[in-house]
């Protein structure tokens, strides 16, 4: 029996995941904008976020919550962190009991500092929950390039079912029981990607980029472990894999923000011109709160926070990192 997958959020990644699941089963994609839903249904493309890339013709889009959610046997949430709770509250009015809920969101909630699956568990207790994460750039996947991802869930059996629903010949999906580690890695790496972009914007070379990525991995791993994640997760697809892709790809929104900051631009102007969310901008403040709470040193994240929230120039942040006292690589 074919199940029905409802994907909530027609941004670049939500649309791409709907394209993937449509290869395997009935898929309904909810779009906030009715004209965008019409574009997907009539032209089989998302011209707002993914112009020039054809979607699987079986993807059916709608601007109606009830139409998208009432048929769902699996719910996939692809909305930004700042709108996740409100959107999920609307979803709960139409969702049947026990339907698995998967988050695509790589961010943390402001104020509560909760991960998205914690919000799911709070609003929909009893529903299996999980996260799909990894080095997944939407346009490359739609172009037919091979990629891999991780599905981390609270229930192993459900995770294996989700694996079959999402995977295609060119999109490999691995299971991982570490929901906490996978989810934190996806959120924290965005802050490091801004740092990597800042270095690029300042005109530094590959040596600097490599140092930022590897020391950034050490930072996010320290915090992730302190919060209950597993060490091996941070060296895998959800950790190192996603960090690499986000730090080096021109398609990365967070890297782009960093590049523009490195060129001396103002963060408000950068955000105003973007039509998609760079989660690392808001996540930076939450990360610093969590680092203080858990007693974890995160100098790179600290400098990114200062640039984003305190008006510190990127060049000064870079000098601040260089001026820190050298320690053992295993410190912390």
Mind telling me the catalytic residues?
189
128 torsion bin: left (phi>0), alpha (psi -120 to 50), beta (else) = beta
Cα dihedral 40, 45, 46, 48, rounded to 10, equals: -120
Which residue matches tokens 């941004």?
11
- Structure token pair of residue 50: 């993914």
Which residue matches tokens 């568990």?
121
What strand order describes the sheet that includes 101-103?
Answer: 60-62, 26-30, 4-8, 74-77, 101-103, 129-133, 147-153, 171-176
Q: How far is CA 65 from the centre of its chain?
A: 23
- The answer to whether 178 touches 231, Cβ cutoff 8 Å, is no
Strand ranges for 124-275 from DSSP E: 129-133, 147-153, 171-176
133 forms beta bridges with: 150
């Amino acid at each position: 029996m074919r199940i029905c997958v409802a994907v909530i959020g027609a941004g670049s990644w939500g649309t791409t995941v709907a394209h993937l699941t449509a290869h395997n089963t009935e898929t309904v994609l909810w779009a906030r904008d009715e004209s965008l839903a019409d574009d997907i249904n009539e032209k089989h493309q998302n011209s707002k976020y993914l112009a020039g890339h054809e979607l699987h013709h079986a993807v059916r889009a709608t601007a109606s919550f009830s139409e998208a959610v009432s048929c769902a046997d699996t719910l996939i949430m692809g909305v930004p962190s700042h709108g996740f709770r409100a959107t999920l509250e609307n979803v709960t009015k139409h969702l049947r009991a026990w339907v698995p809920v998967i988050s695509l969101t790589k961010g943390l909630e402001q104020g509560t500092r909760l991960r998205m699956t914690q919000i799911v568990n709070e609003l929909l207790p009893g529903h299996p929950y999980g996260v799909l994460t990894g080095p997944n750039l939407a346009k490359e996947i739609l172009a037919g390039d091979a990629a891999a991802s991780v599905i981390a869930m609270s229930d192993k059996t459900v995770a294996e079912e989700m694996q079959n629903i999402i995977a295609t010949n060119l999109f490999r999906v691995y299971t991982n029981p570490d929901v906490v580690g996978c989810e934190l890695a996806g959120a924290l790496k965005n802050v490091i990607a801004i740092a990597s972009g800042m270095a690029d914007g300042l005109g530094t070379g590959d040596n600097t980029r490599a140092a930022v990525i590897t020391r950034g991995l050490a930072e996010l791993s320290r915090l992730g472990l302190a919060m209950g994640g597993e060490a091996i997760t941070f060296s895998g697809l959800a950790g190192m894999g996603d960090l690499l892709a986000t730090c080096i790809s021109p398609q990365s929104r967070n890297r782009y923000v960093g590049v523009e900051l490195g060129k001396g631009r103002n963060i408000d102007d950068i955000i105003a011109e973007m039509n998609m969310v760079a989660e690392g901008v808001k996540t930076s403040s939450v990360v610093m709160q969590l680092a203080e709470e858990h007693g974890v040193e995160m100098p790179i994240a600290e400098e990114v926070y200062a640039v984003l929230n305190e008006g510190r120039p990127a060049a000064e942040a870079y000098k601040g990192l260089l001026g820190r006292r050298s320690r053992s690589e295993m410190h912390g």
